C-alpha cells in the first residue's frame, strides 16, 4: 500500500518506518530541510533503540522516502497519516494549529478517494474538525472527492516504540465507514494476527481512549508517589507497601513504582489537556488536577531532601546528577524531573556535575552551561561532589561501585530518585541513603 506520513517527529518517524518494514511504500513529509537531509542519509535525530537500523534498511531498498513535496506524496497515496505535533497552549489545551494546517493542505491537493488517518494525540472532536477543514478546502476548489477521517491513536512508549508498534497490545481504530475499515484491516493485518487485536470504535471514542489511557497511567504513578510521601512521614518503607499492593491482581505491579515524578511528551501534556476537556464540558476534573499537582510537587521531593541535609543555602556545594532524560532508553528531556531538580539546586547556589548516556545534548539545550558541567561518565560526575542524586534508572546505574562512591562523595549521601538501590547494601559501604519513601534510618533500626 502507498502511504504518506505527514510529520517526521517521534510518532511519524516510527509509524512510517514500521509500515515500510512490512512492505508498504512510505513517503514521510516534513518542512525541516536539515532534518530531511539527515534522514535521507539514514541518520535519526532521536534516540530510539532499533529505529535507525530500520530506517537505513528501508532507505536502501527504496520503501522509505523522505520529502517536502506534500502534493506528490498525497496524490500517490491511498492512506494519509497526520502525525504532526499538538503542543500545549498556555491553558493546557492541545494546540491544533499544525493539525488544521495539514488538513487544509490535504483538502487543497487531493483528487482521488483517500483515507485520512489522524495519528496525532488530539482532543475529542478533532476528527470532525479535520473533516470540516478538508471539506472547506474542497468546496473552494468546486470539487467533490470521497474521503474519510479515521482516528488511530498511538500507544508507543519511548525506549520501546519499535517493539510497541510491531507487537501492539491493541490497535484502536475510530471509524464508522465500512470502506475505511477494510483499508485499515488490510494495513494492520501484519500487526494483528492475534484475534481481537484491532478494536473498532467511533472517532470520538478513539480520541478519548488515548487521553484516558495516559491519564490512568499517570494517576497510578501519582497515587503511589503520594503514598511514598506519607511513608516518609510515617517511617515506613514504601517498597514493602508497593510489593504488598502490587501482588493484588486487581491492582497489579505496573506503574506503581514510586519516584521523583513523570515527564516526557505524553503524560504531562495529556493530563493537562484532559483537564481542559473536562472544564469545557462543565465537569470538575478534580482527580486529574490532583494527579498533575502531585507530579509537580514530586519533582521537588529530592530537592527537599537535599535541603534537609545541607540547608537552603547551597553555595559551595556540588552535586552529581546521574540521569537527565525523563526515562531510560531515550534522549528526551521534555518535562524531565532532572531539569526541575537541577534548576532548583542552581537557584540555591549549587553547582552540578551531570551525566546521562544519551541526553547530554538535549539537556544542554534546555539547561545551558551556567553552574553545570556535563561529564563523560558516571564516576567523573562524582569527583569532588558532596552528594549523588540518581534521577533516571539507566541500567548502568543499577550496580555501581559503592566502595568507590563511599570514598569519593564528600558527605557520603546518595539520593535515590527511583529507589533502585538496596538501602541496607548502601549502608554496608558507609554511605547514607535517601530514597523516595524510604531512608537508611529505617534499616539501621532493623525495620
Burial class, 120, CB count within 10 angstroms (exposed 0-12 / middle 13-18 / buried 19+): buried
Closest by CA position to 379, among listed 302, 322, 327, 324: 322
231 is catalytic: no
HEC profile of the chain: CEEEEECCCHHHHHHHHHHHHCCCEEEEECCCHHHHHHHHCCCCCCCCCCHHHHHHHHHHCCCEEEECCHHHHHHCCCEEEECCCCCECCCCCECCHHHHHHHHHHHHHCCCCEEEEECCCCCCCHHHHHHHHHHHHHHHCCCCCCEEEEECCCCCCCCCHHHHHHCCCCEEEECCCHHHHHHHHHHHHHHCCCCCCEEEECHHHHHHHHHHHHHHHHHHHHHHHHHHHHHHHHCCCHHHHHHHHHCCCCCCCCCCCCCCCCCCCCHHHHHHHHHHHHHHCCCCCHHHHHHHHHHHHHCCHHHHHHHHHHCCCCCCCEEEEECCCCCCCCCCCCCCHHHHHHHHHHHCCCEEEEECCCCHHHHHHHHCCCCEEECCCHHHHHCCCCEEEECCCCHHHCCCCHHHHHHHCCCCEEEECCCCCCHHHHHHCCCEEECCCCEHHHHHCCC
Sign of CA dihedral 432, 435, 441, 447: negative
CA distances from 123 to 120, 150, 158 (A): 10, 14, 21
The catalytic residue among 18, 28, 266, 318 is 266
C-alpha closest to that of 382 among 364, 361, 363, 407: 407
Torsion sign across C-alpha atoms 293, 295, 298, 303: negative
Residues catalogued as catalytic: 266
Amino acid at each position: 500500500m502507498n502511504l504518506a506520513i505527514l510529520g517526521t517527529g517521534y510518532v511519524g518517524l516510527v509509524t512510517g518506518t514500521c509500515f515500510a518494514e512490512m512492505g508498504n511504500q512510505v513517503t514521510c513529509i516534513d518542512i525541516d530541510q536539515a532534518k530531511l537531509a539527515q534522514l535521507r542519509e539514514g541518520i535519526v535525530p532521536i534516540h530510539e533503540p532499533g529505529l535507525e537500523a530500520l530506517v537505513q534498511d528501508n532507505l536502501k531498498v527504496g520503501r522509505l522516502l523522505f520529502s517536502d513535496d506534500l502534493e506528490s506524496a498525497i496524490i500517490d497515496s491511498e492512506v494519509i497519516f497526520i502525525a504532526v505535533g499538538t503542543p500545549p497552549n498556555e491553558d493546557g489545551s492541545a494546540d491544533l494549529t499544525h493539525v488544521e494546517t495539514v488538513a487544509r493542505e490535504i483538502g487543497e491537493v487531493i483528487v482521488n478517494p483517500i483515507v485520512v488517518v489522524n495519528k496525532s494525540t488530539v482532543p475529542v472532536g478533532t476528527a470532525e474538525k479535520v473533516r470540516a477543514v478538508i471539506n472547506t478546502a474542497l468546496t473552494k476548489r468546486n470539487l467533490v472527492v470521497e474521503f474519510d477521517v479515521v482516528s488511530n491513536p498511538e500507544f508507543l512508549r519511548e525506549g520501546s516504540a519499535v517493539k510497541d508498534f510491531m507487537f501492539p497490545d491493541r490497535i484502536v481504530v475510530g471509524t464508522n465507514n465500512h470502506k475505511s475499515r477494510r483499508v485499515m484491516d488490510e494495513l494492520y493485518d501484519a500487526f494483528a494476527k492475534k484475534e481481537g487485536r484491532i478494536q473498532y470504535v467511533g472517532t470520538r471514542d478513539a480520541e478519548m481512549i488515548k487521553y484516558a489511557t495516559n491519564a490512568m497511567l499517570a494517576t497510578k504513578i501519582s497515587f503511589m508517589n503520594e503514598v511514598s510521601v506519607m511513608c516518609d512521614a510515617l517511617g515506613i518503607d514504601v517498597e514493602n507497601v508497593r510489593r504488598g499492593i502490587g501482588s493484588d491482581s486487581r491492582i497489579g505491579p505496573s506503574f506503581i513504582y514510586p519516584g521523583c515524578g513523570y515527564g516526557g511528551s505524553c503524560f504531562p501534556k495529556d493530563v493537562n489537556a484532559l483537564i481542559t476537556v473536562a472544564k469545557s464540558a462543565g465537569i470538575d476534573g478534580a482527580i486529574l488536577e490532583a494527579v498533575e499537582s502531585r507530579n509537580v510537587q514530586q519533582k521537588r521531593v529530592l530537592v527537599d531532601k537535599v535541603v534537609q541535609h545541607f540547608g537552603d543555602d547551597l553555595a559551595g556545594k556540588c552535586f552529581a546528577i546521574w540521569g537527565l532524560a525523563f526515562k531510560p532508553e531515550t534522549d528526551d528531556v521534555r518535562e524531565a524531573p532532572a531539569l526541575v531538580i537541577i534548576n532548583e539546586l542552581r537557584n540555591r547556589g549549587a553547582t552540578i556535575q551531570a551525566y546521562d548516556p544519551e541526553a547530554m545534548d538535549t539537556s544542554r539545550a534546555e539547561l545551558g552551561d551556567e553552574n553545570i558541567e556535563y561529564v563523560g561518565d558516571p564516576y567523573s560526575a562524582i569527583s569532588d561532589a558532596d552528594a549523588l542524586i540518581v534521577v533516571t534508572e539507566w541500567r548502568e546505574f543499577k550496580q555501581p561501585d559503592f566502595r568507590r562512591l563511599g570514598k569519593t562523595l564528600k558527605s557520603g549521601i546518595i539520593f535515590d530518585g527511583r529507589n533502585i538501590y538496596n538501602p541496607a547494601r548502601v549502608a554496608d559501604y558507609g554511605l547514607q541513603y535517601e530514597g523516595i519513601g524510604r531512608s537508611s534510618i529505617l534499616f539501621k533500626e532493623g525495620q
